[in-house]
Amino acid sequence: MSIKIYTKTGDAGNTSLIGGTKVPKSHLRIESYGTVDELNSFIGLLNDHLLTFDALKQLNIDLKEIQDRLFTIGSALACDPDKETRMKLPDLTENDVHWLEQRIDDMQRELPEMKHFILPGGHVAVSIAHIARCVCRRAERLCVAMQLQNLFMPPLVLQYLNRLSDYLFVLARYIGHSLHVPEVAWKPRIS
Q: What is the pTM of this model?
A: 0.90
Neighbours of 118 (CB within 10 A): 19
According to the model, what pLDDT value does residue 191 have? 79
Q: What is the dihedral of CA 118, 119, 122, 126, to 10 degrees?
A: 80
Residues 84-128 pLDDT 10s: 666 566 689 999 999 999 999 999 999 999 989 999 999 999 999
Average pLDDT of every residue of the chain: 88
Distance in angstroms (rounded) separating the CA atoms of residues 170 and 19: 38
Distance in angstroms (rounded) separating the CA atoms of residues 1 and 77: 30
Whether pLDDT at 26 is above 70: no
